[in-house]
Amino acid sequence: MLIHESEFCQSNAVVVQGGTGALLIDAGVHEGEMACLVSDLSDLGNTVVAGFSTHPHWDHLLWHVGLGTVPRYGTARCAATVRDRLSGGIDARRFGIPEDVSLDLLGLLTGLPTDTVRIPWDGPGIRIIEHQAHAPGHAALLIEERGVLVAGDMLSDVLIPMLDLNGTGDPIEDYLAALRLLEDVAGDVSVVVPGHGSVGGADQLRARIDQDRAYVHALRDGLDPSDPRIGPSAKPGWEWVSDVHAGQLQRLHLRSESDGTPD
Ligand SMILES: [Zn+2]
Protein backbone atom coordinates (compact mmCIF):
# COMPACT_ATOMS: atom_id res chain seq x y z
CA MET A 1 0.00 0.00 0.00
CA LEU A 2 1.28 3.46 -0.90
CA ILE A 3 0.06 6.85 0.20
CA HIS A 4 0.66 10.13 -1.58
CA GLU A 5 0.06 13.31 0.38
CA SER A 6 -0.82 16.40 -1.67
CA GLU A 7 0.30 19.96 -1.11
CA PHE A 8 -3.39 20.75 -1.35
CA CYS A 9 -4.83 20.48 2.16
CA GLN A 10 -2.66 17.44 2.92
CA SER A 11 -5.00 15.33 0.75
CA ASN A 12 -4.10 11.66 0.84
CA ALA A 13 -4.31 9.42 -2.22
CA VAL A 14 -4.10 5.72 -1.36
CA VAL A 15 -2.84 2.98 -3.67
CA VAL A 16 -3.73 -0.61 -2.77
CA GLN A 17 -1.90 -3.39 -4.59
CA GLY A 18 -4.09 -6.13 -6.04
CA GLY A 19 -3.49 -9.26 -8.12
CA THR A 20 -3.50 -7.64 -11.57
CA GLY A 21 -2.98 -3.99 -10.69
CA ALA A 22 -3.74 -1.32 -8.15
CA LEU A 23 -6.84 0.32 -6.74
CA LEU A 24 -6.52 4.06 -6.33
CA ILE A 25 -8.61 5.74 -3.63
CA ASP A 26 -9.20 9.53 -3.93
CA ALA A 27 -6.66 9.97 -6.74
CA GLY A 28 -5.26 13.39 -5.82
CA VAL A 29 -5.60 17.05 -6.67
CA HIS A 30 -2.77 18.87 -8.48
CA GLU A 31 -2.05 17.94 -12.08
CA GLY A 32 1.70 17.60 -11.40
CA GLU A 33 1.17 15.38 -8.39
CA MET A 34 -1.12 12.99 -10.20
CA ALA A 35 1.31 12.90 -13.15
CA CYS A 36 4.03 12.01 -10.62
CA LEU A 37 1.84 9.22 -9.24
CA VAL A 38 1.29 7.90 -12.78
CA SER A 39 5.04 7.79 -13.42
CA ASP A 40 5.82 6.23 -10.00
CA LEU A 41 3.31 3.48 -10.69
CA SER A 42 4.69 2.83 -14.14
CA ASP A 43 8.27 2.72 -12.73
CA LEU A 44 7.04 0.01 -10.37
CA GLY A 45 5.57 -1.84 -13.36
CA ASN A 46 2.14 -1.22 -11.92
CA THR A 47 -1.12 -0.17 -13.52
CA VAL A 48 -4.34 1.08 -12.01
CA VAL A 49 -7.26 -1.28 -12.49
CA ALA A 50 -9.93 0.62 -10.54
CA GLY A 51 -10.58 3.78 -8.59
CA PHE A 52 -12.77 4.72 -5.67
CA SER A 53 -14.00 8.11 -4.45
CA THR A 54 -14.89 8.28 -0.77
CA HIS A 55 -17.43 11.06 -1.21
CA PRO A 56 -18.95 13.55 -3.63
CA HIS A 57 -16.65 16.56 -3.04
CA TRP A 58 -14.53 17.80 -5.95
CA ASP A 59 -11.14 17.17 -4.30
CA HIS A 60 -12.02 13.45 -4.03
CA LEU A 61 -13.42 13.11 -7.56
CA LEU A 62 -10.45 13.95 -9.77
CA TRP A 63 -8.64 11.66 -12.17
CA HIS A 64 -5.63 11.88 -14.47
CA VAL A 65 -5.72 10.77 -18.08
CA GLY A 66 -2.50 8.77 -17.50
CA LEU A 67 -4.28 6.62 -14.92
CA GLY A 68 -6.28 5.10 -17.75
CA THR A 69 -9.93 4.39 -18.37
CA VAL A 70 -10.95 2.05 -15.58
CA PRO A 71 -14.07 1.74 -13.44
CA ARG A 72 -14.11 4.45 -10.79
CA TYR A 73 -16.45 3.50 -8.00
CA GLY A 74 -18.36 5.28 -5.28
CA THR A 75 -21.45 4.36 -3.31
CA ALA A 76 -24.72 4.58 -5.25
CA ARG A 77 -25.69 7.65 -3.27
CA CYS A 78 -22.31 9.27 -3.83
CA ALA A 79 -22.50 8.70 -7.59
CA ALA A 80 -26.08 9.99 -7.76
CA THR A 81 -25.12 13.11 -5.80
CA VAL A 82 -22.18 13.75 -8.14
CA ARG A 83 -24.40 13.40 -11.21
CA ASP A 84 -26.89 15.83 -9.72
CA ARG A 85 -24.40 18.43 -8.61
CA LEU A 86 -22.28 18.35 -11.76
CA SER A 87 -25.18 18.34 -14.21
CA GLY A 88 -24.80 22.09 -14.70
CA GLY A 89 -20.99 22.07 -14.61
CA ILE A 90 -18.87 23.34 -11.74
CA ASP A 91 -17.81 26.89 -10.86
CA ALA A 92 -14.10 26.32 -10.17
CA ARG A 93 -13.63 29.74 -8.63
CA ARG A 94 -16.49 29.40 -6.18
CA PHE A 95 -14.99 26.15 -4.88
CA GLY A 96 -11.46 27.57 -4.75
CA ILE A 97 -10.17 24.94 -7.17
CA PRO A 98 -6.52 25.65 -8.08
CA GLU A 99 -6.01 26.70 -11.69
CA ASP A 100 -3.76 23.79 -12.65
CA VAL A 101 -6.42 21.25 -11.71
CA SER A 102 -7.93 19.53 -14.73
CA LEU A 103 -11.66 19.00 -14.35
CA ASP A 104 -12.04 17.01 -17.58
CA LEU A 105 -12.44 13.65 -15.83
CA LEU A 106 -14.12 15.00 -12.70
CA GLY A 107 -16.66 12.71 -11.07
CA LEU A 108 -17.04 10.02 -13.74
CA LEU A 109 -18.16 7.47 -11.18
CA THR A 110 -19.91 4.13 -11.32
CA GLY A 111 -22.24 3.81 -8.36
CA LEU A 112 -22.00 0.44 -6.59
CA PRO A 113 -25.38 -1.10 -5.84
CA THR A 114 -26.70 -0.16 -2.40
CA ASP A 115 -25.55 -2.61 0.28
CA THR A 116 -22.44 -3.67 -1.65
CA VAL A 117 -20.24 -5.01 1.14
CA ARG A 118 -16.83 -5.01 -0.58
CA ILE A 119 -15.29 -3.25 -3.57
CA PRO A 120 -15.52 -5.61 -6.57
CA TRP A 121 -11.90 -6.09 -7.61
CA ASP A 122 -9.03 -8.58 -7.72
CA GLY A 123 -7.19 -7.63 -4.52
CA PRO A 124 -7.39 -7.58 -0.73
CA GLY A 125 -10.92 -7.41 0.65
CA ILE A 126 -11.97 -3.80 1.12
CA ARG A 127 -15.09 -3.33 3.18
CA ILE A 128 -17.29 -0.32 2.45
CA ILE A 129 -18.53 1.48 5.55
CA GLU A 130 -21.19 3.82 4.22
CA HIS A 131 -22.66 6.58 6.34
CA GLN A 132 -24.17 10.03 5.94
CA ALA A 133 -21.68 12.21 7.84
CA HIS A 134 -19.91 15.03 5.98
CA ALA A 135 -21.47 14.29 2.57
CA PRO A 136 -24.22 12.09 1.10
CA GLY A 137 -23.10 8.51 0.47
CA HIS A 138 -19.74 9.00 2.20
CA ALA A 139 -17.78 5.75 2.56
CA ALA A 140 -14.89 4.87 4.79
CA LEU A 141 -12.94 1.84 3.55
CA LEU A 142 -11.49 -0.91 5.70
CA ILE A 143 -8.67 -2.80 3.98
CA GLU A 144 -9.28 -5.87 6.06
CA GLU A 145 -6.09 -7.94 5.74
CA ARG A 146 -3.91 -4.90 6.29
CA GLY A 147 -5.89 -3.35 9.16
CA VAL A 148 -6.00 0.01 7.37
CA LEU A 149 -8.94 2.36 7.65
CA VAL A 150 -9.22 4.95 4.88
CA ALA A 151 -11.49 7.42 6.60
CA GLY A 152 -12.38 9.95 3.88
CA ASP A 153 -13.05 13.37 5.37
CA MET A 154 -13.25 12.26 9.00
CA LEU A 155 -10.75 11.50 11.78
CA SER A 156 -8.30 14.21 10.73
CA ASP A 157 -5.67 15.76 12.99
CA VAL A 158 -6.07 19.12 11.23
CA LEU A 159 -9.70 19.38 10.10
CA ILE A 160 -12.63 19.44 12.50
CA PRO A 161 -15.73 17.39 11.67
CA MET A 162 -17.38 19.23 8.78
CA LEU A 163 -21.07 18.49 8.89
CA ASP A 164 -23.33 18.11 5.89
CA LEU A 165 -25.56 21.10 6.50
CA ASN A 166 -27.11 21.04 3.02
CA GLY A 167 -29.07 17.85 3.41
CA THR A 168 -32.45 17.22 4.91
CA GLY A 169 -31.18 14.78 7.55
CA ASP A 170 -30.01 15.48 11.07
CA PRO A 171 -26.36 16.47 10.55
CA ILE A 172 -25.38 16.05 14.20
CA GLU A 173 -26.96 12.62 14.62
CA ASP A 174 -25.67 11.47 11.20
CA TYR A 175 -22.15 12.41 12.26
CA LEU A 176 -22.38 10.66 15.62
CA ALA A 177 -23.81 7.54 13.95
CA ALA A 178 -20.86 7.48 11.51
CA LEU A 179 -18.37 7.76 14.38
CA ARG A 180 -20.07 4.78 16.03
CA LEU A 181 -19.63 2.74 12.83
CA LEU A 182 -15.92 3.60 12.76
CA GLU A 183 -15.59 2.80 16.44
CA ASP A 184 -17.17 -0.61 15.78
CA VAL A 185 -14.27 -1.58 13.49
CA ALA A 186 -11.52 0.17 15.51
CA GLY A 187 -10.39 -3.13 17.05
CA ASP A 188 -9.37 -4.35 13.56
CA VAL A 189 -7.46 -1.22 12.62
CA SER A 190 -3.76 -0.48 13.06
CA VAL A 191 -3.46 2.45 10.62
CA VAL A 192 -5.90 5.27 9.92
CA VAL A 193 -5.58 7.40 6.78
CA PRO A 194 -7.71 10.54 6.82
CA GLY A 195 -8.72 12.33 3.61
CA HIS A 196 -6.69 15.30 4.80
CA GLY A 197 -3.95 15.30 7.43
CA SER A 198 -1.52 12.86 9.00
CA VAL A 199 -1.68 9.09 8.95
CA GLY A 200 -2.03 7.67 12.47
CA GLY A 201 -1.79 4.39 14.36
CA ALA A 202 -4.37 2.55 16.46
CA ASP A 203 -4.01 4.97 19.41
CA GLN A 204 -4.52 7.90 17.08
CA LEU A 205 -7.64 6.27 15.68
CA ARG A 206 -9.22 6.04 19.15
CA ALA A 207 -8.05 9.54 20.08
CA ARG A 208 -9.45 11.02 16.87
CA ILE A 209 -12.82 9.30 17.28
CA ASP A 210 -13.03 10.76 20.79
CA GLN A 211 -11.88 14.17 19.61
CA ASP A 212 -14.36 14.29 16.72
CA ARG A 213 -17.19 13.14 18.96
CA ALA A 214 -16.34 15.75 21.60
CA TYR A 215 -16.38 18.43 18.92
CA VAL A 216 -19.79 17.34 17.59
CA HIS A 217 -21.20 17.15 21.12
CA ALA A 218 -19.95 20.68 21.84
CA LEU A 219 -21.50 21.93 18.62
CA ARG A 220 -24.80 20.23 19.48
CA ASP A 221 -24.82 21.59 23.04
CA GLY A 222 -23.70 25.11 22.12
CA LEU A 223 -20.50 24.78 24.18
CA ASP A 224 -16.99 25.98 23.39
CA PRO A 225 -15.36 22.92 21.79
CA SER A 226 -11.84 23.74 23.11
CA ASP A 227 -10.49 21.71 20.20
CA PRO A 228 -6.78 21.94 19.31
CA ARG A 229 -7.64 22.18 15.60
CA ILE A 230 -9.26 25.59 16.05
CA GLY A 231 -8.05 28.82 17.62
CA PRO A 232 -4.40 29.64 18.37
CA SER A 233 -3.36 25.97 18.57
CA ALA A 234 -4.37 25.29 14.94
CA LYS A 235 -1.52 24.02 12.78
CA PRO A 236 0.14 26.80 10.72
CA GLY A 237 -1.70 27.10 7.40
CA TRP A 238 -4.89 25.69 8.92
CA GLU A 239 -6.10 28.88 10.64
CA TRP A 240 -9.12 28.88 8.30
CA VAL A 241 -10.55 25.88 10.14
CA SER A 242 -11.65 28.33 12.85
CA ASP A 243 -13.82 30.05 10.22
CA VAL A 244 -15.32 26.68 9.28
CA HIS A 245 -16.24 26.21 12.94
CA ALA A 246 -17.80 29.69 13.20
CA GLY A 247 -19.79 29.04 10.01
CA GLN A 248 -21.10 25.68 11.25
CA LEU A 249 -22.12 27.22 14.57
CA GLN A 250 -24.05 29.93 12.80
CA ARG A 251 -25.77 27.64 10.30
CA LEU A 252 -26.82 25.17 12.99
CA HIS A 253 -28.24 28.06 14.98
CA LEU A 254 -30.23 29.23 11.95
CA ARG A 255 -31.47 25.68 11.28
CA SER A 256 -32.70 25.27 14.86
CA GLU A 257 -34.41 28.67 14.70
CA SER A 258 -36.26 27.72 11.54
CA ASP A 259 -37.17 24.36 13.15
CA GLY A 260 -38.60 26.18 16.12
CA THR A 261 -36.32 24.06 18.33
CA PRO A 262 -35.19 26.12 21.32
CA ASP A 263 -31.44 26.21 21.95
ZN1 LIG B 1 -15.13 16.49 1.77
Q: How many domains does the chain have?
A: 1
Alpha carbon of 163 to ligand 1 centroid (Å):
9
For residue 228, give the CATH number of its domain.
3.60.15.10
CB 152 within 8 A of CB 57: no
Domain span at residue 171 reads 2-259
Alpha carbons within 13 angstroms on the beta-carbon side of residue 119 total 32
Alpha carbon of 246 to ligand 1 centroid (Å):
18
Helix, strand, or coil here: 71?
A: coil
Alpha carbon of 43 to ligand 1 centroid (Å):
31
Strand partners, 196: 11
Helix, strand, or coil here: 152?
A: strand
Strand partners, 150: 141, 193
pLDDT in tens, the chain (263 residues): 777 777 778 889 999 999 999 999 999 888 888 999 999 999 988 999 999 999 999 999 999 999 999 999 999 999 999 999 999 888 888 888 888 888 889 999 999 999 899 999 999 999 999 999 999 999 999 999 999 999 999 999 999 999 999 877 899 999 999 999 999 999 999 999 999 999 999 999 999 999 999 999 999 998 889 999 999 999 998 999 999 999 999 998 887 777 655 44
Is 241 exposed, middle or buried (CB count within 10 Å of its CB: 0-12, 13-18, 19+)?
Answer: buried
What pTM does this model have?
0.93
